[in-house]
């Protein structure tokens, strides 16, 4: 089993990282963890080259994500909640999935994505809901043909209880891995 994990947190040892540590410690098979923040990933410029070509015109770190999506079983979107949404670096990377939308809509081809299951791991301070971020993640998954999305794992009050100490969220992250393993 192969899992692609897209992490949108800017904090290397932050709350999302704590949840991912618990998750990956219980996850079977191989995984590729891509930290979107600081990666060489340009936003989609809507150049529309992918409406006629099978590849993205931008050559940066997204190429390794595209390669991983062509052979993995699961995709995990992990992010802090920023203004009720997924982080900007996560959204910026996900915008490059336009390649797959173009495959379906304009080139009438199946997107080159093997993954069947999606999962969402979120951390938020506690000043708002994470539902919008989860819904956005579901939309992103749909845009690459993934319709089976697990319920979200969220540490929802990190201003008062850091995710690394949030036993319920850490345990939910481990259970999520077990579910994917099964
Ligand atoms: C720019 C910014 C916007 C944020 N917006 C929200 C928000 O809308 N709701 C919320 O509950 N927490 C919000 N937070 C708090 C983060 O979600 C919280 O600190 C999170 O645990 C950070 O995760 P990380 O350590 O993985 O980056 C925001 C933090 C930042 C820096």
Domain holding 114: CATH number? 3.40.50.360
With 0.95 as the threshold, say if the pTM is over it.
yes
Question: Which residue's CA is the closest to the ligand 1 atom numbered 1?
Answer: 82
Span from the CA of 166 to the centroid of ligand 1 (angstroms): 16
**Any ligand 1 atom below 6 A from CB of 156:** no
Total structural domains within the chain? 1
**Any ligand 1 atom below 6 A from CB of 87:** no
**Any ligand 1 atom below 6 A from CB of 79:** no
Q: Report which DSSP code applies to 151.
A: P
- Note the pLDDT tens digit of each residue in 121-154: 999 999 988 999 999 999 999 999 999 999 999 9
Q: Report which DSSP code applies to 54.
A: S
The pLDDT value recorded for residue 121 is 98
Ranges in the chain, pLDDT < 50: none
In which domain, by residue range, is 73 found? 2-181
């Amino acid at each position: 089993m192969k899992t692609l994990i897209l992490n949108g947190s800017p904090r290397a040892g932050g709350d999302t990282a704590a949840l991912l540590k618990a998750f990956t410690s219980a996850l079977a098979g191989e995984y590729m963890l891509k930290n979107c923040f600081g990666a060489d990933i340009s936003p989609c410029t809507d150049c529309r080259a992918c409406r006629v070509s099978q590849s993205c015109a931008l050559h940066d770190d997204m190429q390794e994500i595209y390669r991983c999506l062509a052979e993995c079983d699961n995709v995990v979107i992990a992010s802090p909640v920023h203004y009720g949404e997924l982080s900007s670096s996560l959204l910026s990377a996900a915008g490059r999935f336009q390649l797959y939308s173009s495959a379906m809509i304009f080139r009438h081809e199946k997107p080159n994505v093997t993954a069947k299951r999606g999962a969402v791991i979120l951390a938020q301070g506690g000043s708002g809901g994470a539902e919008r971020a989860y819904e956005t993640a579901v939309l992103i998954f749909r845009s690459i043909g993934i319709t089976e999305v697990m319920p979200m794992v969220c540490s929802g009050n990190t201003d008062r209880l850091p995710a690394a100490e949030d036993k319920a969220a850490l345990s939910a992250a481990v259970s999520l891995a077990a579910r994917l393993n099964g």
